[in-house]
Structure 1
């Protein structure tokens, strides 16, 4: 019996029916996503093969028919879990959009939805999400497509939506990390040294780097690159050239920007921009 090996192929696209959302139809074999996060909820449905990823301190495997939701701002990776690779569809749902759906369901104000780290194995939910995703991609009947997506998202929220648990943290550590994040997020094209970062919080460079990495899961330079990539999306979407966006984002050149962008999004910025 022969099996089909998936190829690295991805298409990002958007629809006016879900303002601010990005959607992805893709299959991967060789590509490996480096540790990264998204500002939106990552809501995938695995249609074939299997993906493995690290998330919230554990390694998970999501096989066909599963829905491995990632909360916004949460660090995760991604690569094949079997020789063939995997094929999936993903909705990157803005936080305010999903919260509004939750409030519409409850008929009252609701906290920001949160999902447990475990892979959701719910064939009915997977079929609803896949069906809605396909209808949106086909760009046919907008009434049917919008209704199908609201049905899928409401099913996800009713069955699996939670409130984010309180996690005890060091107040001093939080304040220092927040200060370092603010410093790293300013003037992204300007260089920042570890010594400058450490001075801003009254620590040695060694202790500043260790604290930041422990609290965020990334070294300061890697975290800053994530911010650069996240902020590059708006100008790319607005039609600014990849060369200009790379320079404004603080990358040394276009190839440097493209390399990091592809590791995070699975496609080069020019192809992402052309969706």
Structure 2
């Protein structure tokens, strides 16, 4: 018996029932996600095949029926873990929405929810998340879909929600990295040299790059490209042309922007926009 090979095919979409969220229905075989992060909680459920990804210093494998949560702002990768590839559904749930839901469940103020790095293997949770995602995508009875969505996300929070662990770092290092981030995220279209970045925090180019990479998980140029990509989403949703968004974001040209966008989101920006 031969297994089915998945193909690279992804569809991003949105629903008013989960405001501000992007949702993804996809299967992948050849595509590999380069190191990147999302501003939202990445909540996938693997429906078939298996995905491997590097996250928080370790390599993980998420097989069918598992839920590999990625916390907002955390760098991760993604590629197939078996010859067939993988198929999954993902909710990119806004931080404010998940935080508010956690406080609603508790009935009082709560710290920002955080999830352990380990793959969640909970068949019941996987079924709830998959069903909610399918109902949202079907765009049928909103009462049924919203109820299923809140049931799935509240189950996730109640069973696996934690608080973010303290990661002790030198205060001077934190300040320097924050300063470098502010400079990198300022005028994204303006050219910036490593020497400029290093001078701002009083370090050599070597030590500035090493410190930034150690703390953020990405070298300065890659981190800046991630900011560019995150900021490109709003104008794309608003209908701006891909070429104009590429120029405003500081990319060399449209093909440069498209190449980086596809590595992060799995589809070219024009297709993401049309969805």
User: SS of the residue aligned with 2:133?
Assistant: helix
2:118 corresponds to: 118
Counterpart residue number, 1:210: 210
Match of 1:223 in 2: 223
After TM superposition, the score normalised by the length of structure 1 is: 1.00
Q: Tell me which residue corresponds to 2:104.
A: 104
Residues in 2 aligned to 1:215 and 1:136: alpha-carbon distance in whole angstroms? 37
Residue deviations 1:211-243 (CA, integer Å, cap 9, x gap): 111111111101000000000001001111100
Q: Which runs of 5+ in 1 are unaligned?
A: none
CA distance in 1, matches of 2:72, 2:207: 28
Identify the residue that residue 69 of structure 1 maps to in structure 2. Answer: 69
Alignment of 1:167 with 2:159, yes or no, is: no
Q: How does 1:53-64 map to 2 (within 5 A)?
A: 53-64=53-64
Question: TM-score, normalising length from structure 2?
Answer: 1.00
Q: Partner residue of 1:146?
A: 146
Partner of 1:182: 182
User: Runs of at least 4 residues of structure 1 off by over 2 A?
Assistant: none
Matched position secondary structure for 1:67: coil
1:180-199: CA deviation from partner (whole Å, max 9, x where unpaired):
00000011000000010010
Distance (whole Å) between structure 2 residues aligned to residue 47 and residue 212 of structure 1: 36
**Mapped partners of 1:168, 1:133: distance in 2:** 37
Q: Distance in 1 between matches of 2:179 and 2:49?
A: 42
What's the counterpart of residue 92 of structure 2? 92
Q: Report deviation, 1:149.
A: 0.2
1:127 deviates by 0.1
Separation in 2, partners of 1:134, 1:12: 13
The Cα offsets for residues 111-142 of structure 1, whole Å up to 9 and x where unpaired, read as 11000000000000000000000000000000
Residues 140-177 of structure 1, C-alpha deviations (whole Å, 9 max, x = no match): 00000000000000000000000101110111111001
Match of 2:30 in 1: 30
| 1:245 correspondence with 2:245 | yes
Gaps of 5+ in 2: none
Q: 1:90-126: per-residue Cα shift (whole Å, max 9, x none)?
A: 0000000001111111111111100000000000000
Secondary structure of the structure 1 residue equivalent to 2:77: strand
- Separation in 1 of the partners of 2:103 and 2:182? 31
Corresponding pairs, count: 275
Q: Equivalent residue for 1:271?
A: 271
- Secondary structure of the residue that 2:12 maps to in structure 1? strand
Three-state SS of the structure 2 residue aligned to 1:177 is helix
